[in-house]
Structure 1
Amino acid sequence: MGLVKLKNIKVYAYHGCLVEEKKIGSDYRVDLKVKADLTTSAETDKLADTVDYVHLNFIVKEEMAIRSKLLEHVAERILVRILKEIPMVEKATIDVSKINPPIGGNVELVTITRTKKR
């Protein structure tokens, strides 16, 4: 077994329930961890035998570009696509964080975490 982690993927997106969030957008941070059997790729040194982190990043960027009211919703879409498009992934965990959320206080970020497995 093994893990592939993408940390601190920075995205500008338009998620949220407030009208202002639809118009001006916010900075987001995405952290992703996927579990897969990396034994073959460790032996063969072939990209085709592993989880391509470029593909993972592409999925995150595409799904973050689609507006959602809730972070849970965008996180679920990302996890569903990962499991659908990358069959060797057995489990994926994602943190989606809104940086400086408009919640009337001094809050650095708010994060939701979701996990999905086969």
Structure 2
Amino acid sequence: MGKIILENIRLFGYHGCMSEEEHVGSHYTTNIEIELNLNQASIHDDLSKTIDYVHLYCIVKEEMKINSKLIEHLAQRIIQRIRKEYKEFLIKHIKVKVCKENPPLQGDVDRVCVILDD
């Protein structure tokens, strides 16, 4: 077993329940952790034997462009898309963390985050 981890993917998006969030947008940080068997990739030095982290970044970037009221929904879409596009790898576990930077709260909060484990 092994893990592929993408940390601190920084993108801009329009997610939230307040109307201003749909127009102003916010910065988001996403982390992905995928557990799977990396034995063949480590032995054969062959990209086709593993999940391409460049494509994982593209999945996050594309899903970030689709507005959601909840970052929970965004995180779930990312998980579903990874599972769909990489079903041949028999992924054991996916963990996605999505953080909204500087959320529109009436207080001093750096970010709010959700973590979904699948």
- Residue deviations 1:84-115 (CA, integer Å, cap 9, x gap): 10121221100000000001110000000001
Match status 1:61 vs 2:55: no
5+ residue gaps, structure 2? none
- Residue deviations 1:34-90 (CA, integer Å, cap 9, x gap): 011000000000000011101111111100110000000010000000011012122
Counterpart of 2:96, as a letter, is: I
Q: What is the rounded CA distance, in whole Å, between the counterparts of 2:92 and 2:33 in structure 1?
A: 11
SS across alignment from 1:60? helix
SS across alignment from 1:75? helix
What do you get for the CA RMSD once the two structures are aligned?
A: 0.6
Counterpart of 2:104, as a letter, is: P
Q: What is the rounded CA distance, in whole Å, between the counterparts of 2:55 and 2:95 in structure 1?
A: 16
5+ residue gaps, structure 1? none
Counterpart of 1:112, as a letter, is: V
Provide runs of 4+ in structure 1 moved above 2 Å: none
TM-score (norm 2): 0.96
Q: What is the rounded CA distance, in whole Å, between the counterparts of 2:53 and 2:25 in structure 1?
A: 26
Q: What is the rounded CA distance, in whole Å, between the counterparts of 2:93 and 2:115 in structure 1?
A: 13
Q: What is the rounded CA distance, in whole Å, between the counterparts of 1:48 and 1:14 in structure 2?
A: 34
TM-score (norm 1): 0.96
Identity of aligned residues (%): 43
Alignment of 1:1-118 (within 5 A): 1-87=1-87, 88=89, 89-116=91-118
Would the aligned equivalents of 1:83 and 1:90 in 2 still touch at CA under 8 Å? no
